[in-house]
Amino acid sequence: MSTSLLFAHPRLIAWRNHLRKSSLLRDVYRSIAGGGAYEARFARELLAAVRPGDTVWDVGANVGVYAAQFAECGAANVVCFEPAPAAVAALRTRFSQGSQVTIMPIALGKQHGSVAFAADGASPNNQIGPSDGSVPTIQIDVRSGDEALKEFALPHPDVIKIDVEGYELEVVEGLSNTLSSQKVRSVFIEVHFALLHGRKLDKAPGAILQILRRHGFAVRWVDPSHIGAQRT
């Protein structure tokens, strides 16, 4: 079985969920899978996909760590989608008005609406859904990527990076028309298996792979938590 299917296989997802219950087994799994090298490997492949003049959509931009690197790689336009008010403020401080970075203070999802959002300042772990009471719950605006492209007259992406804490399937579903364009060359997604499991969406990783393939992408796992998709 190819790795593009393996990490989304129901049995492996069930095994990961079982491992997550034991701190010892989690440590063993991380050691086998590459541990802290996850983000470094993902970052290398993501940044290597950005070409001078590209438009990059940074979905779940947080405070702009990746956005700054996209700009350094020569991207002509970087569109940051980030709904957390504290993170938006950090983005506006980091990137001057008139730079190639556009800040969109909204979340992307499957459809237009307003949803509850657990907002812990500028934490990268902020996520859609009501808080457990430890952090404030606010309401945020959501658009599908297809809708945002038209409504805000945004530049069409060449590269899309998605890191949205368990809502990656909804984001991909809301990008159907955008992904059908030959202009989109690469898509990189962090898949949050634990958060998806908490939402009873263990089949979401497989659904994401199917959507990307249907739109003409060759899909593989950069590592056990990150998808890289390239237009064929």
Mean pLDDT of the chain: 89
Residue of higher predicted confidence among 29 and 130: 130
Separation of first and last alpha carbons in the chain: 21
- 152 vs 12, higher pLDDT: 152
In this prediction, residues 117-146 reach a mean pLDDT of 95
DSSP 107: E
pLDDT band of residue 106 (cuts 50, 70, 90) is very high
* Mean pLDDT within 78-93: 97
CA distances from 125 to 168, 195, 208, 219 (A): 14, 11, 21, 26
Choice among 23-37, 40-54, 134-148 with the minimum mean pLDDT: 23-37
Please tell me the predicted confidence (pLDDT) of residue 29.
52
Query: What pLDDT score was predicted for residue 39?
Result: 76
Q: What is d(CA 144, CA 166) in angstroms, rounded to the nearest whole number?
A: 16
Domains defined along the chain, listed by start: 37-231 (3.40.50.150)
pTM above 0.75, yes or no: yes
Q: What is the mean pLDDT of residues 132-141?
A: 95
pLDDT value of position 19: 54
**pLDDT for residue 31:** 54
Give pLDDT tens digits for 52-69. 999 999 999 999 999 999
Residue 168 has pLDDT above 80, yes or no: yes
The pLDDT value given to residue 36: 56
pLDDT tens digit sequence for 7-24: 665 555 554 555 555 555
193 neighbors 165 (Cβ within 8 angstroms): no
